[in-house]
Structure 1
């Protein structure tokens, strides 16, 4: 350390002081007369050198001077100087003690560091054990859920972040229990408890609203409902339709394969192609721009196939935009006859016109009217396609907002079904039942709800002279003949349903009608409605008459006698009427 003198340095100073004191005497001492050779011993020590030096030194005449110098040297270390020597010694001892203390503190610091390292090791070991215990507890809980412990299966997800893997395992276990409820159930829980927990978990896992989840689960068994929810999470295959007005499917396949497109034909369609992989955008190839094909979902092929339009017919597509089905109808008609493409949204007619021009359709007239106006404006159609606006429950894979934003109440379904019923009656009234080749109506929606499909078809069967006929589609699930407490016409099985989890296409519904007569039957419901309307009108008239009499009475009271001049004027007008008649006849 700086400022601290060690013992070795003090000893060196003392030796230097002694040598300096002896130097004068040594310089004046004469050298011996005879110098004998030095004989070294075997051990390397000079035995005679010390004795010779001592003898020569003390035999000298100046020995007195040497003694005086020695006395001076001794005086330097006499008792008179003992005071300052003790102080220096004391300081040196204190410095030595400080050095010892510092060494001890260094040792203690090193021991503390060793102790702190040990503590860190212990802490890390403790944390590792705690983490391992938490992981073991989580694994135990997970295995308990998998193992079918009802207490854990029915446990709520709780607050905070939800582990979706645990929710999914609980969904699978509940579905397994419901499939064999009598043997796997917990005696303390009912089917409603399991179903309620299953709905909550599905809403959490897939993001559906409670209302929509319950509506879809009422239509299917738990296993099939789960398959539907999972299918809605995966996108549908990309499909295109060959425009036979400009190309053949085989030639189109060859040209697209040469451009690096991996595809294959759709088995149940003569013009459809399914795209698996493409090195270029399918919607920007020269073939697409030339109108050789159009991007179109496979489910929208089915309504046109069921309609089966013929050449030289008069056909109406009541909700035509963006033009995929309209162009397919024109291709089947081979650009002959008359095709009316209508859409209520004027903005959507722009894309409709663009697609029709690109595909080379020449027998189409585009209109922008309400569907309910067609029986009055134009009628006598041989065939009509009504792809009615709907809630879109069949296209959740393409429009995720349906899960939690669209059709979230029963009123939404009632409102949509009301519009569909009005459109289907207008479409039936626009068809010519006496058509030699047609008289057909195809009703379709991209929804799978019963309220928008079977209920609307049942309403049309009751209100008009129509019947259901086979759609001509070789695949699809038959429509419902009964749903919950509602019974439908037995011919409802001729309609077709398409599901994402069954047919790997968008959810769709197709029904085909044949119009029997142009007469509109009067049903009991119609009579009741007319009577109700008459009663309402009579009641309104009575209310208006009572209000008028009250107003006249109040006005008469306010005028207080001004009514008599008004009666005189009326009498004078009556007297003049015969004169006016004679004047007009003359």
Structure 2
């Protein structure tokens, strides 16, 4: 960059002494120059002009600040201040090459013993182990049926080396496991019924109790009530031949206790087992009957129904707060002799 543009006097004299032949050769060579060479000469001249200005600025010790033509150094304020720890130096935190292998070697066989796998399984597996220890219910039921078959024809199907008491004990234990009954309750069933009937009774207890209603014959007939309920989308049928007022409800699109027929007193929700004491009592018209456990009024209203609203019916209950439900059912069903 130390090129000077001013030619010295000796150089100018030497230029004057150039012969005409030399000038001609120079012109010929100049004509052979390509456009690319001309561009380079112009660029070289531009560089020379810039260099001349740089030399002048170097002589001046106080350079002007903020000159657009001069490159400025980056200000350290552009970087956030902080501790040197924010910008770690060196390769300590960034292992490369052999350092990665060394880092991998740190997790050796010795450390594998300290690694613990965390799972979602609780430490207390007592309940789970107890469930896994139980036999399949299908196998237990099959064994129950097989034992009942043997006991029904014990002489021909029995094992000669096994007694009847052993079969009974195995059957009771299988029933306890299959139905979650305690042993005392199972022994009570088998003391009341033979093995076949006892199993039928236990299986009947496992089924859900259906919803049943009792028709109030003081206001309607069971046949007419069943037709009305079916029209309302309630699937029902008579309980059985032993009852002339009971209906069994299978499914219903509306609540059974909110139909117009219920509010009008055409029926009452009542279990068939509650029919039996009244049927055993068999009250007659114009009799006097005392009911000392009347609430909520299912049996009481059935007694009045069989008495055809005649005679006198005394109804009371030990708990006074239950008398409200009794009075409501008596009024709703139209009982007048109570």
CA distance in 1, matches of 2:222, 2:208: 25
Mapping for residues 163-562 of structure 1, pairs under 5 Å: 163-265=136-238, 266-364=240-338
Unaligned runs of 5+ in 2: 1-129
CA distance in 2, matches of 1:196, 1:158: 23
Equivalences, count:
208
CA distance in 2, matches of 1:215, 1:234: 20
Determine helix, strand or coil for the equivalent of 2:133.
Answer: coil
Unaligned runs of 5+ in 1: 1-156, 365-586
1:323 deviates by 1.3
Cα RMSD, aligned residues only: 2.2
Which residue of structure 1 lines up, in the alignment, with residue 15 of structure 2?
Answer: none
CA distance in 2, matches of 1:332, 1:353: 19
Sort the Cα spacing of 1:162 and 1:349 in 2 relative to 1 into closer, same or farther, 3 A.
farther
Mapping for residues 75-154 of structure 1, pairs under 5 Å: none
Sort the Cα spacing of 1:208 and 1:349 in 2 relative to 1 into closer, same or farther, 3 A.
farther
Q: Deviations over 1:2-43 (max 9, x none)?
A: xxxxxxxxxxxxxxxxxxxxxxxxxxxxxxxxxxxxxxxxxx
Sort the Cα spacing of 1:178 and 1:283 in 2 relative to 1 into closer, same or farther, 3 A.
same
- TM-score for the superposition, normalised by structure 2: 0.57
Which residue of structure 1 lines up, in the alignment, with residue 103 of structure 2?
Answer: none
CA distance in 1, matches of 2:218, 2:175: 47
Q: Deviations over 1:25-78 (max 9, x none)?
A: xxxxxxxxxxxxxxxxxxxxxxxxxxxxxxxxxxxxxxxxxxxxxxxxxxxxxx
CA distance in 2, matches of 1:167, 1:270: 41
1:165 deviates by 1.4
CA distance in 2, matches of 1:337, 1:233: 42
CA distance in 1, matches of 2:244, 2:153: 44
CA distance in 1, matches of 2:263, 2:180: 39
Sort the Cα spacing of 1:197 and 1:350 in 2 relative to 1 into closer, same or farther, 3 A.
farther
1:229 deviates by 0.9
Sort the Cα spacing of 1:346 and 1:194 in 2 relative to 1 into closer, same or farther, 3 A.
farther
Q: Deviations over 1:389-436 (max 9, x none)?
A: xxxxxxxxxxxxxxxxxxxxxxxxxxxxxxxxxxxxxxxxxxxxxxxx
Q: Deviations over 1:265-285 (max 9, x none)?
A: 343333222223322221211
Higher share in helix: 1
Q: Deviations over 1:440-495 (max 9, x none)?
A: xxxxxxxxxxxxxxxxxxxxxxxxxxxxxxxxxxxxxxxxxxxxxxxxxxxxxxxx
CA distance in 2, matches of 1:348, 1:218: 38
Determine helix, strand or coil for the equivalent of 1:173.
Answer: helix
1:158 deviates by 11
